[in-house]
Structure 1
Amino acid sequence: MTHIFPRHSKLNAPVAVGGEGIYLIDSTGKRYLDGSGGAAVSCLGHGDAEITAAIKAQLDQLAFAHTGFFTSEPAEKLADLLIDHAPGDLDRVYFVSGGSEATEAAIKLARQYFVEKGEPQRGRIIARKQSYHGNTIGALSAGGNAWRRAQFAPLLLDVSHIEPCYAYRLKRDDESLEDYGQRAAQALEDEILALGPDTVMAFMAEPVVGATAGALTPAPGYFKRIREICDQYGVLLILDEVMCGMGRTGHLFACEADGVAPDILCIAKGLGAGYQPIGAMLCTSEIYDTIANGSGFFQHGHTYIGHPVAAAAGHAVVSAILDRGLIGKVREQGAKLHDKLTDRFGQHPHVGDIRGRGLFRGIELVADRETKDPFDPARGVAAKIKKAAFEAGLVCYPMSGTIDGQRGDHILLAPPFIITDDQLDELTDKLDQAISAVI
């Protein structure tokens, strides 16, 4: 008997009682290789003594002080550390408790910025199909996954969604990857013009699409063209790095791989590495100064923003990523993981695409490699692979609806940055076992 309201009432989840490195341990003693870091969260693995020591030390000093009255040393230190390494003109950090809060804050900040700037007619958001930006109403409105949105549609904001940059399915055979990237980006300008340039406040996108499309990387030059279009029409660029940021794709900030910087950037997940719930919204000095020199008050807030213990954990996590050379490790082990997946599944009759960056890798499954036809959704391939992998002792992140929210299946892998070569082999073997059991 349990009084927990679970994610799924039909699932009888085991009780997690311990964690050691890249493994989780349940109450029966069974060990699970955490091949997806939960949901790309546990970048440092489990049981990191340095991180837990930082949390304990902060608890001994100060557990909580409401930001309506105080700032705190750990929040100040973490903000400084993030801005020291942030791209472009990002200059201010607004701490929250998770990814959905970060993207919700970004949407509200974009709106208030234009109101205080004297352009209140700007209120439209453009995002992409097959994106995911969180579960709160604003974040879900920006997200472009049809299945996640469907039952809440009457509650959602009116957000425009253009096609994603999805070369595997949308690139024509007669165009180069670069040419396709330019064509995909052009959809943004077309939508801005259709809506009216003076009505659009922001374009929101994930540099590498995570949960709903499986480590979908942009074509070369795509985001540089997106940045140009935003600048041309005075539209803010909001990049959602909640899942793909904080070193996950081989850069501390994922957008660095594409040579662009946003006006507003959202991070979470790997920022706390699972040790504390924390996220953040970063914005440029120009956006901040517009508010500061106007009303002076960002009309937003949550009780636990800037929580001292969460900030202390975040500072310890980001410091560990930088000081331990883990970003280089992500690139190195990510390349090895890609090679292992390609060797094992590259010619698999039901694997259509293997993609990603760093330790953020996706496998798109198909019924037919030649036609790229997906499996019938009624088969529930992704859910069955998740279950089979879990039984084999592997936590991974399979999802359905890859193509349009209904059709298509993929598997997302995001193991801790500390994964060894032998553990990469174990991950690949257990994943193979699960795929073979289902397909």
Structure 2
Amino acid sequence: PIAEEYASELLEFAGPNFRGGAVYFTSGGSEAIEAALKLARQFQVEIGNFSRSEIVSRNQSYHGATLGAVAISRNKKRREIYRPMLREFSTVNAPYCYRCAYDCTDGCRNCGQEYALEVEAAIAASDGKVAAVILEPVSGATLGAVVPPPGYLEKVSEICRRHEVLLIADEVMTGMGRTGRNFAVDHWGVAPDILVTAKGLSSGYAPLGAVIISHDVVDAIATGSGSFIHGFTYSSHPISLAAGRAVLAHINRTNLVQAADSDSNDSPASNLKQALSELRSLPVVGDVRGIGLLWAIEFVSDKVSKSTFPAEKNFAAAVAQAAVERGLLVYPVQGCADGDCGDHVLIAPPAIISAEQTAWAVEQLAAAITEASAHP
């Protein structure tokens, strides 16, 4: 019974778009992504689109460690060695306004539309073979907390609907309130066909992931073959589900989603946003970006040209090491600019962080950045 009860509560948390839908529980994010890819393929077969098997994803994305997930990911360092084992699909550019490929002079509205049209072009070029488009609504570790420009996700959603292509939202990192909404797509009113979440789903207390599925996808399979041709040994493990259900109850009871809203005055997320903005004055800080309680600091060797540090310098790792020595943990990542170069650190504190802890953490991070930049 706990699986049904928890699934019902999670569907309610996911909002009206998933009313009448279903949840497929896994042991983590990679498993959940793998299940979502197979689900998209089976859906297309169930409705008669037998040729649709391709997945369009975005450059500078990361969707997991299993082979299907690696195939659609574009994190060069985590992918390159496995390329001979992978099926290659079409990719498009992810909006990245700090290093925009289009015109950002209108507040990025135009570039959002241009990036969305890349998705439509990829679908058209496939000659009717695309089953789904997968994206991180807010970029995770690989690109570093990049928030999409206005209108982008809405346009991508509309393109997918028009071409009978499923939209999969990878919210393994951004889901369960991390961005100040139940799920990041809620910021833009976008209704994906499939939503994948993990990490915050159980807050790390037990291995758990979930594929949240809309009614139309469920109905196509229920009225067709009748079952999802897929399974994992530990799917819907009762101990993991009990942990996840307790976490969801705690999130709702203690208003943790509101605490993660960076536009809400005096919230932990608002305090973090304000404190991090002060880092922009440091000579090597090129960009401070993010939303809610998911932020990134991108480093450059020159602010005007936005030149990156040489890859061999591994500047982000140097910052992270200096931070560790001060008692602070941040997530260093390299390759955001072109797959090899471009350094940033990811910052994702808990929703219970105090204003004093935030001030201390940002002070230590500033000192770590200064120390790392002092070494040639």
> What is the TM-score with the length of structure 2 in the denominator?
0.95
CA shift, 1:163, in A, is 0.5
Task: Choose which of 93, 117, 122 in structure 1 pairs with 2:47.
Answer: 117
- Judged with a 3 Å threshold, the aligned counterparts in structure 2 of structure 1 residues 173 and 263 are, in CA distance, closer, same or farther, namely closer
Which 5+ residue runs of structure 1 have no aligned equivalent?
A: 1-72
Task: Choose which of 85, 97, 100 in structure 1 pairs with 2:27.
Answer: 97
CA shift, 1:328, in A, is 1.2
Q: Which residue of 2 aligns with 1:188?
A: 119
Q: Which residue of 2 aligns with 1:166?
A: 96
Answering whether residue 277 of structure 2 is matched by residue 342 of structure 1, we say: yes
**Backbone CA RMSD of aligned residues:** 1.1
For the residue of structure 1 that corresponds to 2:260, the secondary structure is: helix
Task: Choose which of 305, 328, 333 in structure 2 pairs with 1:399.
Answer: 333
Q: Which residue of 2 aligns with 1:30?
A: none
Moved over 3 A (4+): 173-176
Q: Which residue of 1 aligns with 2:107?
A: 176
Alpha-carbon distance between aligned partners in 1 of 2:119 and 2:68, rounded to the nearest angstrom: 20
CA shift, 1:175, in A, is 4.2
Q: Which residue of 2 aligns with 1:256?
A: 186
Contact 1:146-1:404 at 8 Å conserved across structures:
no
For the residue of structure 1 that corresponds to 2:117, the secondary structure is: helix
Answering whether residue 10 of structure 2 is matched by residue 79 of structure 1, we say: no
Q: How does 1:247-326 map to 2 (within 5 A)?
A: 247-326=177-256
Alpha-carbon distance between aligned partners in 2 of 1:324 and 1:87, rounded to the nearest angstrom: 19
Alpha-carbon distance between aligned partners in 2 of 1:154 and 1:113, rounded to the nearest angstrom: 28
Letter in 2 for 1:253: F
Letter in 1 for 2:162: Q
Q: Which residue of 1 aligns with 2:304?
A: 370
Alpha-carbon distance between aligned partners in 1 of 2:318 and 2:16, rounded to the nearest angstrom: 43
Alpha-carbon distance between aligned partners in 1 of 2:270 and 2:144, rounded to the nearest angstrom: 17
Contact 1:88-1:262 at 8 Å conserved across structures:
no
For the residue of structure 2 that corresponds to 1:282, the secondary structure is: strand
Alpha-carbon distance between aligned partners in 2 of 1:419 and 1:174, rounded to the nearest angstrom: 36
Task: Choose which of 284, 288, 313 in structure 2 pairs with 1:379.
Answer: 313
CA shift, 1:194, in A, is 1.4
Which 5+ residue runs of structure 2 have no aligned equivalent?
A: 262-266
Contact 1:366-1:409 at 8 Å conserved across structures:
yes
Q: How does 1:324-335 map to 2 (within 5 A)?
A: 324-331=254-261, 332-335=267-270
Contact 1:88-1:261 at 8 Å conserved across structures:
no
Q: Which residue of 1 aligns with 2:264?
A: none
Q: Which residue of 1 aligns with 2:77?
A: 147
Alpha-carbon distance between aligned partners in 2 of 1:88 and 1:160, rounded to the nearest angstrom: 31
CA shift, 1:88, in A, is 4.5
> What is the TM-score with the length of structure 1 in the denominator?
0.81
Contact 2:103-2:110 at 8 Å conserved across structures:
no
State the aligned residue count. Answer: 365
Letter in 1 for 2:157: R
Q: Which residue of 1 aligns with 2:288?
A: 354
Answering whether residue 64 of structure 2 is matched by residue 130 of structure 1, we say: no
Q: How does 1:10-49 map to 2 (within 5 A)?
A: none
